[in-house]
Structure 1
């Protein structure tokens, strides 16, 4: 019982930090999630983390909230999923409640526009780091490399809907790796 309480407290604190220190949400959270969950706590392997991010992507709702929910469930069941989800949304919820009065006036300021321009650049960098980090673990042989480049080409050249890309990737996985090899 004490161990479960410690895990639940650790889940809340970990996802509170992730929600607090990641600006941009979703994919921008992946590098910090990876650092905390895999490197910091050792709760998941890289392969498990990638699987959870993939499922979080195809599930309705924000990727960060879905990932927190799945990771929390994996570690501590329903209570863990609720606590991890609460942890990741708490900072945004509090900040929005505090800033909502001033947000529209603040956006009109030139300094706010400059701030957001810099923030967008940092967000793109974080997303690229997440893609590179996850890609190194997911694209591991000739077959996965071919699947990756085929789906990348479909996305960039044909503007295929991301849900179709995920479905095609899953189908390729079933066709080319039917026995989990």
Structure 2
């Protein structure tokens, strides 16, 4: 029972105090589950993030489900996902109730303008951390950069990028096994 409370608290704490969505939460989730708890190793965490990104839905919830399942199976996935979702739900509900009254307030507008650069930084940190964990080097960095440019500039659907990368990885590993 204690582990369920810990799992809920970890994701509730992260969900409450993280701005910027799932990507901004990743370093905190990694620190709690990999570094502090030792429930996942770095490769398992990276695999969970990859699956969470490819799966439909909110990435932070998907990571919570996968991590919770790894730690305590189905009940763990339910507890972790509730922990991740409940604070955001309550915060959004409160904002929806009161924001109309405050959205034109100059102080509120300045606060939101100030938060934007911090959110970008919070999203950038996991990009570099995940790249390092995935073994991306300066020599191989061209591939994710090319994918990002294709999505951004050429408006290629990320679905096609993921499918192409998965198929390419399959054939690459198949060829690599044959040459051994």
TM over 0.5: yes
* Count of residues in Structure 1 that have an aligned counterpart in Structure 2: 177
| 2:56 match: secondary structure | coil
Which of 166, 172, 179 aligns to 2:168? It is 172
Paired with 2:176 and 2:39, the residues of 1 have a C-alpha distance of 23
Paired with 2:121 and 2:35, the residues of 1 have a C-alpha distance of 21
Partner of 2:85: 89
Partner of 2:97: 101
Which of 12, 24, 34 aligns to 2:8? It is 12
Paired with 1:145 and 1:177, the residues of 2 have a C-alpha distance of 19
Change (3 A) 1:104 1:43: same
Contact 1:30 1:130 in 2 (8 A): yes
Paired with 1:150 and 1:172, the residues of 2 have a C-alpha distance of 15
Of residues 53-62 and 124-133 in structure 1, the stretch that sits farther from structure 2 once superposed is: 53-62
Paired with 1:168 and 1:84, the residues of 2 have a C-alpha distance of 31
Structure 1: runs of 5+ lacking an equivalent: none
Paired with 2:60 and 2:69, the residues of 1 have a C-alpha distance of 14
Runs of 4+ in 1 over 6 A off after TM superposition: none
What's the C-alpha RMSD, in Å, of the aligned pairs? 2.2
Paired with 1:179 and 1:142, the residues of 2 have a C-alpha distance of 24
Partner of 1:159: 155
